[in-house]
Structures are given as structure tokens and as C-alpha cells.
Amino acid sequence: MVPVEGVEDADRELAQPRVRAVRAAHAVRGERVAEHLIGAREFDGWAPQLAALITEADTAPVPRPIHSLPSGHRWDRVPGVTLLGDAAHLMAPSGEGANLAMYDGAELGKAIAAHPDDIEAALAEYEQALFPRSAEAADDAAVIFGLCCRDENAPQGMLDMFSPAA
């Protein structure tokens, strides 16, 4: 992985105790993983069905970092080139990735149709609208990611968001 200035990683330390426990359990030869995880404090309070996804697996989980570009990220125009979808607005999962990619494609198509003889004008128009839209989506994704994974109260904050107000 090549470090990129301004790219933020999800808090790796958040998952490390669980990852170490799972890897250690999977490293034990000749014994069931579940026997080593039962009672492990890292998994206390987990629903049995969720714990079984890990404890009954044939292989150890592979932690995957989550990367994001800073909100408001922009690039200088490069003639004949633009980005759309995740390439244009890399952010934490929020449930909007496919929607943004399809919207980007439609907006790029509209810009090209509006400037059929001037691709540079089309790309510049597309990017001018893309950047603020991407910043708003990145801000929303950061909030959702915090509620699910990063905030001190996670994931309770996400559950509270979907619960009716008292």
C-alpha cells in the first residue's frame, strides 16, 4: 500500500484486539477455533449467530483498511481525463457509492452532450459540479462511519439514529 498525503485510515487500533484473538485462535492446530474464542472477552455480548461467522469459519478473517480522501479534495484539470465514482470520491462506506457513481456518469454524459465539440469544456463543467457534491457525500460518509465504527459510542450511535425518539 502506498501512503497518500491527506488519506485517512480507519482507526486500526479499534479492531486490533479482536483481530489478534481471531488470528491466535485460527493458529491453533488440530482444535476447533470456537473452543478458543468461547469466553474471550473481545467477543462478550456478541449474538451467537454473529460470533459463529468468525468461530465456525475455515480461515482467519483478513482485516481490510478503509481509506478516504479528505472532504473537499480536488485535483487540477488534466486535458482529456477525469474521474468518476469511487475514483473521484474515495470515502468510507455509506451506502451511496453506487448511486454516486451512476449520478457521476449521468452528469458527465449530460456535460458531454451539452458540449459535443469541446470535451475540455464538458469535463470542466462536470468537475465544477462534482467537487461540491463529493465534499457533501464525504462529510455524510464520515458521520455514518463514525456512528458505525469509530465513535466512542459506536455502534450504539447508529442504533440510536434508527430508534424512535423518546
3-state helix, strand, coil in the chain (%, to 5): 55, 5, 40
Rounded to an integer, what distance in angstroms lies between the CA atom of residue 51 and that of residue 44? 9
Contact partners, residue 6, CB within 8 Å, separation at least 6: 69, 70, 73
Q: Could you tell me if residue 3 is inside a domain?
A: no
Task: Give a yes or no: residue 2 inside a domain.
Answer: no
Looking at the 3D structure of the chain, how many domains does it have? 2
Residue 1 lies in a domain: no
On whether both 109 and 71 belong to a single domain, the answer is: yes
Residues 131, 83 share a domain: yes
Q: Is residue 109 part of a domain?
A: yes
Pair (39, 103) in one structural domain: no
Same domain, 48 and 72: no
Element (H, E) at 45: none
- Domain membership of residue 83 (yes or no) is yes
Cα separation, 166 vs 162, whole angstroms? 12
**Res 12: pLDDT:** 40
Contact 9, 65 (CB under 8 A): yes
Report yes or no on 36 lying in a domain: yes
Are 110 and 142 part of one and the same domain? yes
Write down the pLDDT at residue 34. Answer: 47
Dihedral angle at the C-alpha atoms of 47, 49, 54, 59, nearest 10 degrees?
Answer: 180
**What cell was used for 67?**
481509506
Do 48 and 97 lie in a common domain? no
pTM, two decimals, is: 0.62
Q: What is the pLDDT along the chain (166 residues), one digit of tens a residue?
A: 333 344 344 434 444 455 555 555 555 443 444 444 444 556 677 788 887 777 777 877 777 888 888 888 889 999 999 999 989 988 888 888 899 999 999 999 999 999 999 999 999 999 999 999 999 999 999 888 888 888 888 788 888 888 887 5
- The pair phi, psi for residue 5, each rounded to 5°, is -60, 130
One domain, residues 152 and 87? yes
* Domain interval for residue 18: 10-55
Residues 155 and 79 in one domain: yes
**104 in the same domain as 37:** no
| Same domain for 90 and 22 | no
